Amino acid sequence: MKKSILLGVLMCSTAIATSSMAANLEVKITKDKQYSVVNHGAELVKVQRIQDTSHVIDGSFAKTSRPCPPFCVNPMTVADGVATVAELEVIKFMETAMHRGDGALIDARTPSWHKKGTIPGSINIPFTVFEKPVDDPELAEVLESLGAVERYDVGTVTRTMEQLGMFGGDQKTENWDFSNAKQLMLWCNGPWCGQSPRAIRALLSMGYPAEKLYYYRGGMQMWQSLGLTTVLPNEASEYASK
């Protein structure tokens, strides 16, 4: 009897020990995180690092030098109030804000870059769309998809009070209410890429609150350097790249 109990305990403890090692990757994201699962359109995609420890980066992101200008090194901070983030914050953002639906990861590159591969969960809104005139219908459509609400005929008194900081005026402009706008994390090709900084500056100029904007400066260059998963775009990620 004692023997069988002992055997049972032993089997259970082996099962537990093995289960904790079952998906044990050699190349983890952090000591405690092996991978993350992210929504990419209607699919769930596992984001992890390349497991081949002898692998070296291949392709265009192995390139070190491009003409500057225009491909110059960007400063760490793109604009006041806009936080610069790195890979772990991107993954955290995928797991929290994007999962809840109040955040969007934006591939701000032109469609020709996006279609070759992107970071899972990203939607492609090229910087050129954000730089369109404020009354452009495509820009309006994009802003609405990001949770901004277009405003019409705002009274002078209301606007004046908003400008004094009342009625959540810091989230509103004469044309847009950004109170329920999503948090946006924008990225492009890396520290030498000007596309996401331009998108961020354009968003700020139309009144998008700086605290809702994040700049992933490392972009595709760093994402690839760390061997993190990329995906080919699907319909959902090509929202504004037509």
- Please report, as ranges, the residues that interact with other proteins according to CB under 8 A: 12, 15-16, 18-20, 22-23, 34-35, 37, 39, 42-46, 49-50, 52, 55, 57-62, 66-67, 70-71, 99, 110, 112-113, 116-117, 120, 128, 194-195, 220, 224, 227-232
Residue 115 or 151: the one with the smaller Cβ distance to other proteins is 115
Closest distance of CB 156 from other proteins, Å? 31
Please give the Cα distance from 153 to 162 (Å, whole number).
Answer: 14
Q: Where are the alpha helices (DSSP H) in 104-189?
A: 111-114, 127-130, 137-145, 156-163
Q: How far is the CB of 55 from other proteins (least distance, A)?
A: 6
Given phi > 0 = left and psi -120 to 50 = alpha, else beta, which region is 232? beta
121 or 147, CB closer to other proteins? 121
Closest to other proteins by CB, 1 or 21: 21
Nearer to other proteins, 66 or 83 (CB): 66
| 59/75 with CB nearer other proteins | 59
DSSP assignment string, 56-76: ---SGGG-----TTTSPPPPS
Closer by beta carbon to other proteins, 47 or else 148: 47
Q: What angle do CA 209, 174, 105 make, to 5 degrees?
A: 30
What whole-number distance in Å separates Cα of residue 226 and Cα of residue 10? 39
Q: What is the DSSP string of 3-37?
A: HHHHHHHHHHHHHHHHHHHTT--SS-SSSS---EE
Q: How far is the CB of 216 from other proteins (least distance, A)?
A: 17
Min CB(226)–other proteins separation in Å: 9
Side chain identity, residue 121: G
Contact 48, 29 (CB under 8 A): yes
Distance in Å, CB of 161 to other proteins, minimum: 36
Smallest gap from Cβ 132 to other proteins, in A, equals 12
